[in-house]
Structure 1
Amino acid sequence: MDLTYIDKHLIPGEAVTYQTKLHWHVMFWHVTFGVISMLAGIAILTGAWSSKHGKGDSSGVMIWLGLLCFAIAAYLVVFGVLKRRATEIAVTNKRVIVKVGLATRRTIELLLPRIESISVEEPALGRVLGYGTVTIRGTGGTPEVFQNIYHPLEFREQVQKQIEGERRSG
């Protein structure tokens, strides 16, 4: 079993209480254009096959163009899926931890006692589909903005629950 970034970086006495991820719609355009590119590749390869069996002489170029469409389709779909899977978002009994990226990584770790406010913005479509933007402001005043969070109101509630638990125990 592979440990996630969050699992590997828990401090002693820390436990994950809630995890979420990016909403699936972050992959939507990648997958949509990937499917369109794949269909274009099929059409081009079908045309190349037809011209090879007909009078056309451009079948070699069309085959390469069709294969290029397939390569673009694969890239788009893989990029979209990796973008979502490479993001980890967790609330622990001590911190909020966010890791974004695979090749280049950005991590944010906010201690619960240092969080001053947490706000949620949900566009109309986000309310229907269950995604939104969460902004956490720490004692330093710098806001940390996390877009396309799956169930942002639940995320905020879990952070607030842990902050309240921290205050009671501390």
Structure 2
Amino acid sequence: MGSYVDQSLTRNESVISRAQTSWIPTIIPVIIGILLLPFYGLGLLIIVPVLLRVWSTELALTNQRVIAKVGLIRRNTVELRIDKVESLGIHQGILGRIFNYGSIVIKGTGGTNTPIPNIKAPMQFRSIVNNHI
């Protein structure tokens, strides 16, 4: 099974940049999950969804679009042509500022805001997108 971004590419479309997902926000839920494993495996109810969300989040800039996907079973996708991207916002808490991760909020000309959570180096990705708009 290939990545959603790779499967979504059209003819003459190539990936310029891919954002990576940060593992930092998952540390506390994973630790709690590990501590709860001895109790009838309850920890798996915490660990599995957290890891699936990290592994299934994709964000990429191509020469034609911004493509984002969050989720595996309940999947949310956004594909915006570069000329339809109005802005890319960044939401970072204090830990996000310290460890350089945050949510990127993509706003298209239709007015919908789409947050893509826990992206590593969000300012750098936003800068790359802004240079190609």
TM over 0.5: yes
1:72 lines up with 2:42 in the alignment: yes
RMSD of Structure 2 on Structure 1 (CA): 1.7
Counterpart Cα distance in 2 of 1:101 and 1:30:
17
Return the offset for 1:151: 0.8
- Structure 1 runs of 4+ with >3 Å offset: none
Task: Note if contact 2:70-2:116 (Cα within 8 Å) is conserved in structure 1.
Answer: no
Counterpart Cα distance in 2 of 1:136 and 1:111:
12
Return the offset for 1:20: 1.5
Shift in alpha-carbon separation, 1:143–1:79, aligned structure 2, 3 A: closer
Larger Rg: 1
Structure with more of its chain in helix, by fraction:
1
Aligned to 2:72: 102
1:151 lines up with 2:121 in the alignment: yes
Task: Note if contact 1:30-1:79 (Cα within 8 Å) is conserved in structure 2.
Answer: no
Return the offset for 1:7: 0.5
Consecutive unaligned residues of structure 2, counting only runs of 5 or more, are none
Counterpart Cα distance in 2 of 1:37 and 1:158:
41
Aligned to 1:114: 84
Aligned to 2:34: 35
Return the offset for 1:11: 0.8
Offset from partner CA, 1:27-75 (integer Å, 9 cap, x none): 223311112113xx2xxxxxxxxxxxxxxxxxxxxxxxx5x1xx22234
Task: Note if contact 1:30-1:80 (Cα within 8 Å) is conserved in structure 2.
Answer: yes
The DSSP-based 3-state class of the residue aligned with 1:161 is helix
Counterpart Cα distance in 1 of 2:48 and 2:86:
38
